[in-house]
Structure 1
Amino acid sequence: MRLKLPEYSGKDYFVWAVTLLPFTMALNSIIFGSRYFTDGTIFLPTTLISAFVFTLDFTACGGIALLLRRRMPHEEQTSRRLFLMIFCFVDLSGVFLLTLFHGYEIFPSFNYTFNEKGFIWAYVCMAIINIFLTLLMEGISRYNNWRENLKETEQIKKTFTQSQLLGLKSQVNPHFLFNSLNTLSSLIQEDEGEAEVFLNEMSKVYRYMLRGDDEQLVTLQTEVKFIGSYTHLLEKRFGQSLQVKLCIEEEDLEKFLPPLSLQVLIENAFSQNSMTKAKPLVINVCSNSTNEIRVCNNRQPKMISNDMDIESGLDNLVAKYRLLNAASVVINDEETQRCISLPLLREKGGEA
């Protein structure tokens, strides 16, 4: 079992390494004066002893800092946390200094007796060092958090961009466009009125997917409206072999979800399953006022080439919710049915 030392900022022991020698030399020069530098029997042992004491003090202060951060993690508690940290550190350092000063009296070769004035000077210096190191560690911790948040923000943007590209890939690729145009061509020959409706719905689908905004969330109402046009194209192409049924509670329509989420799940379903008029693929999209929307389909697996990455869109959607710090996407696979539950967010900030 590895011993894990407490770390507050991630750079604690780098700071310890940088400050260890200057601190021990300054402290011992206060205690012994010029003898510390001129007497080799004092210099080496006292440097090692004070370095050991400083390390114990530094590690104990790190443990206290972590404990206080766990107890007071919120931004508005920062001032109180820093005050308590400094208070505890100064008190604890006083105990260690007192132990060190009296400990030196044990060694006859040091020829040292407790010096109250020297202790007071050392204690004042130690208090100043504690205040400086506390603020330094807090600054480093905040900088690291800022870097992590910046990295996470960039990752969110990257994931949303990839998601949009995946959505476009599934629709704008030549196969989908060819199939849509082929269906349109057939309708023109059979029913010009229906062909006009199909073309109108097709333009809505492409307009939504090629929209120029960078919104990370849209209302469920907007997404459902898009899905209505999207499924119209699919149902005209597959006929009764594919059935998409929507059952959405009105109060859920103003909640939010990432754009193209439902399209990803519907595409995932018909990409993996076979469908015929006798055995149609039925996809149910339902919400029930529980801050989630469920997309369920009967399972009729078809043979899929190994080089087809059919789950990439779903994986991307799961990562997107994780980066939004929202509730997780729940995937429930049974023998005859797959259900995927997407959290609905109450506001654009991402709160479920």
Structure 2
Amino acid sequence: MKTPFYISHKLIWISSISLGILTSIPKIVDHNFILSEGIADFGVTTGFALLIWYYNIYSIPAYTKKTGSKNVISPQLFIGLGVGLVLMFVLSSIQYYILSHLNFGPKMLMYEVRGVLINLTFYMFIHLLYQTYLNQQVVRELERSMSANLAAQYELLKQQVNPHFLFNSLNTLKYMVESNDTQSAEFIIKLADFYRFTLGSLKLNLLPLGEELQIMDSYIYLLKARFEEGLVVSLNLRREIYGSFIPPFTLQLLVENCIKHNIVSLEKPLHISIGQEDDYLIVSNNMQPRKISESSTGLGLENINQRYLHLSEKEISIIMNTETFTIKLPIIYEHTNN
């Protein structure tokens, strides 16, 4: 969670009151010192400083978020100066209304010059603080993303080079070779393709959906050789989203999750569908839970969710009822591999 930009109210009030006192000192030492004028001068400067503090604290972050500009000299600077001139005019007019014996012209000019100097000082200071804050947020987000990415990659590596999956695949291959199955050569090619894709994609943050589906094709082929008609995987995606992006092996991990927790047999086939709904990929399966599920860390779905949060600032959705288990993955249209 991001820490909001914040400047201590104590700092704001102390600095504003200090400015009011400093600007009143010349009047206090003047031998013609009039208490009411000193108080009015103090009030105008302090009030102006407080208003400019809060105006800039709100407007500078809002302008930066809206435009993305980090330049010190920007339209916001001139807008702020204009706002400051108007504020000082209003405060000076109130003072003149209270102390009508003052010469308004020279006083107004003095206040406006003072206001511009205060405004520029506060603007520069707050702009510097906000840019420092943004840089710190970027560093924290990078550190958090790197940490989560490393954890996700470790989990992916354990899943992809899963000894159980490799053992089952080799057992299936052994059976196919012993029975002179004509698909043995194709099985070996798919197994090699799957592990080649796996080792070649682990360091990527995002992968084109079309490439992810190629990996899935090899993976499903290997699973079908083992489960035969006990596993039915259907794909219903529009070709135009094949150029979108997805964290590597997301679909494979979800399919593996389905198999871990559900019965897969010729008598009770497991149906897994991969489709699309608006801006989401939908992975759904019929619920036929095992009495004893395969061992699982329980981190698979959480890691996928964390990767989506870091890469797209969107969460996956999990929808479960007595008949189906569904995962909704936000479609990522923008490439962010670094």
TM bucket normalised to smaller: 0.7 to 0.9
Map 1:92-107; keep pairs closer than 5 Å: 92-96=87-91, 99=94
Contact 1:57 1:93 in 2 (8 A): no
1:137-216 paired onto structure 2 within 5 Å: 137-191=126-180, 193-211=182-200, 214-216=203-205
**Aligned equivalent of 1:315:** 302
| 1:136 and 2:125 aligned | yes
Corresponding position of 1:89: 84
Determine which of 57, 68, 73 is the counterpart of 1:75. Answer: 68
> Is this contact kept in 2: 1:255–1:347, CA < 8 A?
yes
Q: Is the 8 A contact 1:20 1:54 kept in 2?
A: yes
Aligned-residue CA RMSD (Å): 3.8
Kept in 1, the 8 Å contact 2:262–2:293? The answer is: no
**Pairwise CA distance, 1:63:** 4.5
Output the CA distance in 2 between the equivalents of 1:269 and 1:306.
Answer: 11
Q: For residue 97 of structure 1, report the CA deviation from its aligned partner.
A: 5.5
Matched, 1:335 2:328: no
Quick check: 2:201–2:248 contact (8 Å CA) kept in 1? no
2:88/2:115 contact within 8 Å kept: yes
* In 2, Cα distance between equivalents of 1:80 and 1:226: 51
Unpaired runs of 5+ residues, structure 1, are 1-7, 107-112
Question: Structure 2: which 5+ runs fail to align?
Answer: none
Question: Which segment is superposed worse, 55-64 or 196-205?
Answer: 55-64
Q: Percent identity?
A: 23
Q: Hey, what's the Cα distance between the residues in 2 that align with 1:245 and 1:314?
A: 21
**Counterparts of 2:70 and 2:134, CA distance in 1:** 16
Distance 1:307 1:232, change over 3 A: closer
Counterpart in 2 of 1:62? 54
Alpha-carbon shift at residue 297 of structure 1 (Å): 0.6
* Number of equivalent positions: 328
Q: Structure 1 97/214 Cα, relative in aligned 2: closer, same or farther at 3 Å?
A: farther
1:324 aligns with 2:332: no
Are 1:264 and 2:259 an aligned pair?
A: no
Residue in structure 1 matching 2:288, options 290, 293, 300: 300
Q: Is the 1:332–1:340 Cα contact (8 Å) retained in structure 2?
A: yes
Local SS of the residue matching 1:253: helix
Distance 2:47 2:311 in 1: 40
- 1:81: how far off? 2.4
Question: How far, CA to CA, are the matches of 1:200 and 1:171 in structure 2?
Answer: 17
Q: Distance in 2 between matches of 1:204 and 1:28?
A: 80
Residue identity opposite 1:223 in structure 2:
E
Instruction: Provide the C-alpha distance between the structure 2 equivalents of 1:176 and 1:17, rounded to a whole number of angstroms.
Output: 66
Shift of the 183–25 alpha-carbon distance from structure 1 to 2, 3 Å rule, reads same
8 A Cα contact 1:293 1:343, kept in partner: yes
- Letter matched to residue 83 of structure 1: F
Query: Could you tell me whether the CA contact under 8 Å between 1:27 and 1:122 is conserved in 2?
Result: no
Offset of 1:298 from its aligned partner? Answer: 0.3
**TM-score normalised per structure 1:** 0.76
* TM-score, reference length from structure 2: 0.79
Tell me what 1:29 maps to.
25
Q: 1:22-52 deviations in whole A, cap 9, x for unaligned?
A: 413311113323679xx9xx7xx969x9489
Deviation at 1:262, TM superposition (A): 0.7
Structure 1 stretch displaced more, 175-184 or 114-123 = 114-123
1:222 to 205, 211, 222: 211
One-letter code of the match for 2:210?
Answer: Q
Secondary structure, aligned partner of 1:339: strand
Q: CA deviation at 1:228?
A: 0.8
Aligned mates of 1:306, 1:94 — CA distance in 2 = 75
**C-alpha deviations, 1:167-217, integer Å up to 9, x for none?**
221232333333333333333322364333322222212111111673322
Q: CA deviation at 1:222?
A: 0.5
Instruction: Tell whether the 8 Å contact from 1:252 to 1:291 is kept in structure 2 after alignment.
Output: no
The match for 1:238 among 221, 224, 227 is 227
Match of 1:13 among 9, 30, 38: 9
Question: Contact between 1:10 and 1:141, CA under 8 Å: does it hold in 2?
Answer: no
Residues 262 and 35 (structure 1), Cα distance of their counterparts in 2 relative to 1, 3 Å cut: farther
Contact 2:308 2:315 in 1 (8 A): yes
Task: Answer yes or no: is the 8 Å Cα contact 2:224–2:231 preserved in 1.
Answer: yes
Q: Tell me if structure 2 keeps the 8 A contact 1:12–1:137.
A: no
**Secondary structure at the counterpart of residue 324 of structure 1:** helix
